[in-house]
């Protein structure tokens, strides 16, 4: 699913109106009818009072149409006009008039804090104050109204976006934003729904198809791609009856140090579970017995040093390498890593301490093979690209880094972002239970194992992130958030594959 900017959405609206030969009020009626259908399906004529707060633009117009439709179906409706300006959109005025024609009680005007209505916590609130066009702070009393609505603790439905949230730029840290129980958004989600600073305002999301022109959607390049089951399933490479382990590649995983052999063990098993035909682990001598016992299916090569990696000469010849898990940043290890980058020409996945070494010695980034996959957590990312003011600047910095070094960056988080140059892919699987030691090591094994099977590095990153999150989602069903361990993710890679083919 494509994600569009505000300008792109407005253009899609205009083209739809032109090609379908309808009025803008007709499109608003259609959108509000989809809203009504979604809400009516949940309420089923329940007697709960509904309070609709309407702004003065087209989002408010959607709210007015919705109020009329709900009222026509017998719901108890209280409509409020958040009257913060003398300007009103034309479609708002049309639907304001239509609502007044059928209402025994006209919408209530809110012009200051003194007009805030008293609403019991058991009532339903619908937020239609601001839509996607908001790009500056509202007048102070409207910010107070947003704070007041949040304080009511009512179940709150926001239309298209939570009021107060900016769509195309960072929302100010001191902004007041509706904390929506549900957002009913039109046609496609918005990027801000998936970013750490702004996704917190949304508990649930439902996308409503308002039949914008499909041809224009198809040819419009979005600002990001949202990846769900259907999109990811198309990336899967099937297996055939006469295939053997040689068809599925051989990857080398480099990592571990004294006291940190668990990380490379998780990575190694994950690479095997995801389907790599052969996996070899290169580790310090202290980990030999541990890894041979923990992952008997893997082959093991040990460094001459018992406690750390000191040489990577044996990495030559492998077409796919994953490096960094528990490796440490000892000067001797750094020298070995630097020499490895200067000579290695295969496909590479870089994680953990290998990322930290790149951050400490930026000149090494220029040695990365093309389309190297880097998998930093937020702290490692800061060390690699520097501080950012907000999520939008973070994405811009990562894009610049990706273009400069021709690499793929996986930004791990609640909605992991995979960025390659100007392309942004947003993951839809995963949960807070995965915030546990070793989770990232498993991801590195999954991505490396997929590349070994001849997946393109970008596809391996996107597909691997989805499988990793899906394994976590299956894991919490059994272990819950707090008890989920990285090893449970490894065990759920198989069930994650199987669930891709299960009908929902």
pLDDT tens-place string over residues 89-129: 999 999 999 999 987 778 999 999 999 999 999 999 999 99
Q: Would you state the structure tokens that stand for residue 445, as one six-digit string? A: 């094994």
Same domain flag for 186 and 271: no
Q: What is the pLDDT of residue 375?
A: 98
Where residue 183 sits, what CATH number does that domain have?
3.40.50.10260
Mutual orientation of helices 6-20 and 24-43 as an angle, nearest 10°? 110
Residue 60 placed within a domain: yes
Q: Which residue has the tokens 């008039």?
A: 97
Same domain flag for 202 and 261: no
Same domain flag for 12 and 152: yes
Q: Tell me how far apart the alpha carbons of residues 267 and 445 are, in angstroms, rounded to a whole number.
A: 4
Where residue 261 sits, what CATH number does that domain have?
3.40.1190.20
Residue 237 placed within a domain: no
Q: What is the pLDDT of residues 164-201, one digit of tens each?
A: 999 999 999 999 999 999 999 999 999 999 999 999 99
Phi first, then psi: what are they for 331, rounded to 5°? Answer: -50, -35
Residue 235 placed within a domain: no
Say which residues have a Cβ less than 8 Å from residue 416's Cβ, sequence separation at least 6.
Answer: 410, 426, 427, 430, 465, 469
Q: Tell me how far apart the alpha carbons of residues 499 and 504 are, in angstroms, rounded to a whole number.
A: 9
Contact 376, 384 (CB under 8 A): yes
Same domain flag for 363 and 214: no
What is the number of structural domains in the chain? 2
Same domain flag for 113 and 208: yes
Same domain flag for 148 and 271: no
Contact 311, 340 (CB under 8 A): no
Say which residues have a Cβ less than 8 Å from residue 261's Cβ, sequence separation at least 6.
Answer: 283, 286, 287, 290, 291, 326
Q: What is the pLDDT of residue 233?
A: 95
Q: Confirm whether pTM is higher than 0.85.
A: yes
Contact 74, 49 (CB under 8 A): no
Chain centroid to CA 160: 18
Residue 236 placed within a domain: no
- Residues of the domain holding 328: 246-500
Same domain flag for 349 and 465: yes
Phi first, then psi: what are they for 420, rounded to 5°? Answer: -130, 105
Same domain flag for 56 and 168: yes
Same domain flag for 409 and 493: yes
Residue 216 placed within a domain: yes
Residue 204 placed within a domain: yes
Same domain flag for 266 and 190: no
Instruction: For the chain of 504 residues, list the mean pLDDT of each consecutive stretch of 10.
Output: 96 97 98 98 90 98 98 95 95 96 88 97 98 94 98 98 97 96 98 97 97 97 96 95 95 98 98 98 98 98 97 91 98 97 96 98 97 97 97 98 98 97 98 97 98 98 98 97 98 97 80
Q: Would you state the structure tokens that stand for residue 196, as one six-digit string? A: 């750490």
Residue 48 placed within a domain: yes
**The pairing of beta strand 423-427 with beta strand 278-283:** unpaired
Chain centroid to CA 91: 34
Say which residues have a Cβ less than 8 Å from residue 85's Cβ, sequence separation at least 6.
Answer: 56
Residue 137 placed within a domain: yes
- Picking from 186, 220, 254, the residue at the C-terminal end of a domain is 220
Same domain flag for 445 and 491: yes
Same domain flag for 487 and 448: yes
Q: Tell me how far apart the alpha carbons of residues 99 and 66 are, in angstroms, rounded to a whole number.
A: 10
Hey, is 476 helix, strand or coil? helix
């Amino acid at each position: 699913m494509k994600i569009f900017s505000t300008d792109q959405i407005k253009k899609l609206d205009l083209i739809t109106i032109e090609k379908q030969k309808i009025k803008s009020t007709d499109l608003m009626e259609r959108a509000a009818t989809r809203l009504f259908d979604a809400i009516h399906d949940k309420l089923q004529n329940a007697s709960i009072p509904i309070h609709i707060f309407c702004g003065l633009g087209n989002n408010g117009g959607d709210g007015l149409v919705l109020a009329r439709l709900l009222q026509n179906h017998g719901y108890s409706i209280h409509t409020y006009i958040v009257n913060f300006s003398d300007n009103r959109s034309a479609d708002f005025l049309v639907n304001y008039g239509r609502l007044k024609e059928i209402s025994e009680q006209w919408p209530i005007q809110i012009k200051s804090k003194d007009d805030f209505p008293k609403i019991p916590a058991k009532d339903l609130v619908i937020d239609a104050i601001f839509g996607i066009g908001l790009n500056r702070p509202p007048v102070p009393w409207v910010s107070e109204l947003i704070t007041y609505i949040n304080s009511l603790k009512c179940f709150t439905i926001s239309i298209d976006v939570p009021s107060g949230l900016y769509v195309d730029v960072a929302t100010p840290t001191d902004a007041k934003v509706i904390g929506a129980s549900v957002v009913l958004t039109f046609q496609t989600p918005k990027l801000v729904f998936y970013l750490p600073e702004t996704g917190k305002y949304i508990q649930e999301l439902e996308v409503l198809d308002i039949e914008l022109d499909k041809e224009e959607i198809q040819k419009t390049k979005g600002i990001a791609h949202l990846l769900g089951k259907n999109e990811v399933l198309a990336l899967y490479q099937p297996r055939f009856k006469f295939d053997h382990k040689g068809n599925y590649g051989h990857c080398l995983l480099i990592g571990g140090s004294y006291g940190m052999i668990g990380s490379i063990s998780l990575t190694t098993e994950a690479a095997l579970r995801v389907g790599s035909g052969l996996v070899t682990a290169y580790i310090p001598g202290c980990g030999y017995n541990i890894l041979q016992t923990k992952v008997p299916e893997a082959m093991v090569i040990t460094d001459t040093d018992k406690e750390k990696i000191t040489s990577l000469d044996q990495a030559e010849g492998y077409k796919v390498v994953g490096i960094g898990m528990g490796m440490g940043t000892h000067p001797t290890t750094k020298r070995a890593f630097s020499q490895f980058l200067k000579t290695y020409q295969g496909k590479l996945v870089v994680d953990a301490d290998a990322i930290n070494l790149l951050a400490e010695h930026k000149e090494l980034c220029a040695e990365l093979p093309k389309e190297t996959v880097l998998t930093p957590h937020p702290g490692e990312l800061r060390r690699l690209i520097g501080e950012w003011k907000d999520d939008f600047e973070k994405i811009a910095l990562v894009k610049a880094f990706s273009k400069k070094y021709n690499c793929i960056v996986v930004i791990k988080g609640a909605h992991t972002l995979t960025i390659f140059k100007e392309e942004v892919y947003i993951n839809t699987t995963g949960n807070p239970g995965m915030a546990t030691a070793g989770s990232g090591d498993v991801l590195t094994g999954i991505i490396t194992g997929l590349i070994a099977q001849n997946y393109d590095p970008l596809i391996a990153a996107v597909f691997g992130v989805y499988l990793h999150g899906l394994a976590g989602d299956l894991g919490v069903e059994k272990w819950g958030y707090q008890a989920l361990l990285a090893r449970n993710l490894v065990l759920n890679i198989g069930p994650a594959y199987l669930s891709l083919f299960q009908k929902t």
